[in-house]
Structure 1
């Protein structure tokens, strides 16, 4: 079981991601924005952060850069989940620090496999 933080501003997507991860046996916390994520990551140790790119305030690219730059974050893996699906968008996400990038809409099976593959590599 891994400890996962979901960062997603759309409540229905946040609930879906959390439910899928919990069904896969993970301990999940979720927050609606990047600033909340920074507080949560500073307070706890997460194995994986699943985040959207497009969020109000600080976007997912900025959050990924901050998480990768802060040793206090514990270096969780980062999975970006975004409707931005061009090659440039994916490259920007990976360059910002994401370990993997999944485009919306996604299948539950594909998302679950990606998460499990990422966590197995830790």
Structure 2
């Protein structure tokens, strides 16, 4: 796995840019994908240590992307953080059930995003 690379899968370019700047300020490298299919192709080549994915995207949604990542032995151990404007218990449980390690509601707090991503990566790296 690429130890400081995080993939950001979100169809909103402003969100991708904001998350990229936030993660890069925290010492990560960020790659962006405008939809789930693009993200899936990047995942298999780049093998990032983590991924942040929106739930609703064209071509392949975040739930499907999580399931795809978890079924691939080369990338299934990466940290996955799902973000969405929907924060009802049902939506959170569906995201976690699809394979996400964490779930943050939009609008995102940059500090919370970095803290959550660092924690998830550490847990995955330590095998827990």
Aligned length: 122
**Residue aligned with 1:47, SS:** strand
Q: Which of 22, 26, 32 is 1:20 aligned to?
A: 22
In structure 2, C-alpha distance between the alignment counterparts of 1:72 and 1:108, rounded to whole Å: 29
**Residue aligned with 2:104, SS:** strand
Unaligned 5+ runs, structure 2: none
Map of 1:108 onto structure 2: 110
In structure 1, C-alpha distance between the alignment counterparts of 2:56 and 2:38, rounded to whole Å: 15
**Residue aligned with 2:60, SS:** coil
Contact (CA 8 Å) 2:78, 2:121: kept in 1 or not? no
In structure 2, C-alpha distance between the alignment counterparts of 1:45 and 1:59, rounded to whole Å: 19
**Residue aligned with 1:29, SS:** strand
In structure 1, C-alpha distance between the alignment counterparts of 2:122 and 2:72, rounded to whole Å: 23
In structure 2, C-alpha distance between the alignment counterparts of 1:39 and 1:107, rounded to whole Å: 28
Map of 2:58 onto structure 1: 56
**Residue aligned with 1:68, SS:** helix
> What displacement does 1:3 show?
1.1
- Report whether the alignment pairs 1:66 with 2:68: yes
Unaligned 5+ runs, structure 1: none
In structure 2, C-alpha distance between the alignment counterparts of 1:82 and 1:12, rounded to whole Å: 15
In structure 1, C-alpha distance between the alignment counterparts of 2:57 and 2:71, rounded to whole Å: 20
RMSD, aligned CA:
1.2
Normalised to the residue count of structure 1, the TM-score between the two structures is 0.94
**Residue aligned with 2:77, SS:** coil
**Residue aligned with 2:48, SS:** coil
